Amino acid sequence: MLPEFDNTEVAFSYRSNAALKQARFLFASMGSPTLTKIGIGFTKMAMAIKLPINGIIKSTIFKQFCGGETMEEAAETATMLGKYHIGVILDYGVEGKEGESEFDKAVPEFLKAIDFASSQQNIPFISIKVTGFSRFSLLEKLHAKAELNASELEEWQRVENRIDTICARAAEKNIKVLVDAEESWIQDPIDELTDKMMEKYNTQKAFVYNTFQLYLHSRLAFLKRSFTRAQERKYLLGAKLVRGAYMEKERARAAEKNYPSPVQPDKQHSDNDYNEAVDFCIENLENLELFIGTHNEKSCMLAAQKMVAKNLNFKHPHIYFSQLFGMSDNISFNLAQQGFHVAKYLPYGPVADVMPYLMRRAQENTSVAGQTGRELGLINTELKRRKLL
């Protein structure tokens, strides 16, 4: 049966009344762009001057969107999700660290996550960001096709080795690696490196997935080119589809540097390309593996309907639906209840280090994006339903 995304009983079955009320307070606060702006500004300032705010953050926004500060803490959340047939993508969410020693230190964290994932029933994926292993400005230089000097070439080789170490361990342990997409002005080297890894490790099944941001008007064509490349070179394409998280930044940079914005002219164009990309992937499922990363109900429903129309098993090994932990449980839990493959992105890491991730979630959940209204409405409906019982 197709899922019903307005079934709040299923959506919030894992949440107590108290937890739901806390979530309601958080989403209501984030719903105000002014409050969010002030909150983000204050948090940045408080962290810079080392005010003791970790406790407040940990019991509010961190609790909503993160699995814990350590992998062991995240494991408890993963086990809880497993009880509802929901899988997990372990995401060591530390961002914004620069320096060779930090990049080297990150590798064993990911190897540990892979080893742990392989010991669990419901953790088929981990996710990585190439900026967790490479200097941002090196990626910028590569993207701009500027020539690298000898030491930069060695530096890039070290980045490649780090990613290769992770992908090799993942393939050995039967865990899949999702490579996140980032800002468009560093994306070419990320794509090239990910293509290389897919070619090396995806010969039998997709262990490595690239991410396609359909809010960029070039990406639908790029997805199709990536598929053709995979066919020619005889590997499976791993295709993680998202709309894209850096719209304001992309537009602001394009305006500042006076080049045409790479972002679609409006939301409808992003939606159209997203849904067409899902369609394209489902039509070519024999030769690719699809990861549908979205909180958009319509896109999820269209994908589910297409699976029904094509008589595909809901647990088709090449299709996963995914939402972020703490968001759109109405989609995740209802899809899982009907037997679809679902996995939640579950970031973990020290509070201070996951702040960039939390700030993106806060911004995404302001009323501008329209997400808060839906989350709040669903939480209120569920609280009312429980009260009537």
Ligand X SMILES: Cc1cc2nc3c(=O)[nH]c(=O)nc-3n(C[C@H](O)[C@H](O)[C@H](O)COP(=O)(O)OP(=O)(O)OC[C@H]3O[C@@H](n4cnc5c(N)ncnc54)[C@H](O)[C@@H]3O)c2cc1C
Residues near ligand X, by CB under 6 A: 180-181, 211, 213, 215, 242-247, 263-264, 266-267, 270, 293-296, 322-324, 345, 364, 369, 371
> 225, 189 in Cβ contact below 8 A?
no
Which residues are CB-contacts of 55 (< 8 A; sequence separation ≥ 6)?
Answer: none
Query: In angstroms, what is the minimal distance from the CB of 311 to ligand X?
Result: 26
Strands (E), 267-334: 288-293, 319-324
Q: How far is CA 93 from the centre of its chain?
A: 10
Question: What gap in Å lies between CA 14 and CA 202, rounded to an integer?
Answer: 36
Query: In angstroms, what is the minimal distance from the CB of 287 to ligand X?
Result: 22
Q: Tell me the one-letter amino acid at 370.
A: G
Query: In angstroms, what is the minimal distance from the CB of 364 to ligand X?
Result: 6
Query: In angstroms, what is the minimal distance from the CB of 53 to ligand X?
Result: 26
Q: Which CB, 141 or 295, lies closer to ligand X?
A: 295
Nearest to 266 by CA among 215, 212, 221: 215
β-bridge partners, 208 = 177
Q: Which CB, 54 or 367, lies closer to ligand X?
A: 367
Query: In angstroms, what is the minimal distance from the CB of 88 to ligand X?
Result: 11
Question: What gap in Å lies between CA 96 and CA 234, rounded to an integer?
Answer: 36
In eight-state DSSP terms, residue 216 is B
Query: In angstroms, what is the minimal distance from the CB of 353 to ligand X?
Result: 18
Query: In angstroms, what is the minimal distance from the CB of 363 to ligand X?
Result: 10
Phi, psi (deg, nearest 5) at residue 243? -80, -45
Question: What gap in Å lies between CA 49 and CA 92, rounded to an integer?
Answer: 25
β-bridge partners, 50 = none
What's the token pair of residue 297?
């109900």
Question: What gap in Å lies between CA 95 and CA 130, rounded to an integer?
Answer: 10
Q: Which CB, 152 or 353, lies closer to ligand X?
A: 353
Query: In angstroms, what is the minimal distance from the CB of 40 to ligand X?
Result: 17
Which residues are CB-contacts of 41 (< 8 A; sequence separation ≥ 6)?
Answer: none
Buried b (16+ CB within 10 A) or exposed e, 335-372: bbbeebbbbbbbbbbebebbbebbbebbbbbbeeeebb
Question: What gap in Å lies between CA 239 and CA 229, rounded to an integer?
Answer: 13
Query: In angstroms, what is the minimal distance from the CB of 139 to ligand X?
Result: 15
Q: Which CB, 99 or 260, lies closer to ligand X?
A: 260
Phi, psi (deg, nearest 5) at residue 208? -125, 135
Q: Which CB, 153 or 368, lies closer to ligand X?
A: 368
Q: Which CB, 77 or 371, lies closer to ligand X?
A: 371
Query: In angstroms, what is the minimal distance from the CB of 131 to ligand X?
Result: 11
Question: What gap in Å lies between CA 259 and CA 252, rounded to an integer?
Answer: 10
Q: Which CB, 238 or 293, lies closer to ligand X?
A: 293
Q: Which CB, 106 or 247, lies closer to ligand X?
A: 247
Nearest to 103 by CA among 179, 158, 28: 158
Q: Which CB, 43 or 213, lies closer to ligand X?
A: 213
Q: Which CB, 153 or 252, lies closer to ligand X?
A: 252
Question: What gap in Å lies between CA 128 and CA 210, rounded to an integer?
Answer: 10
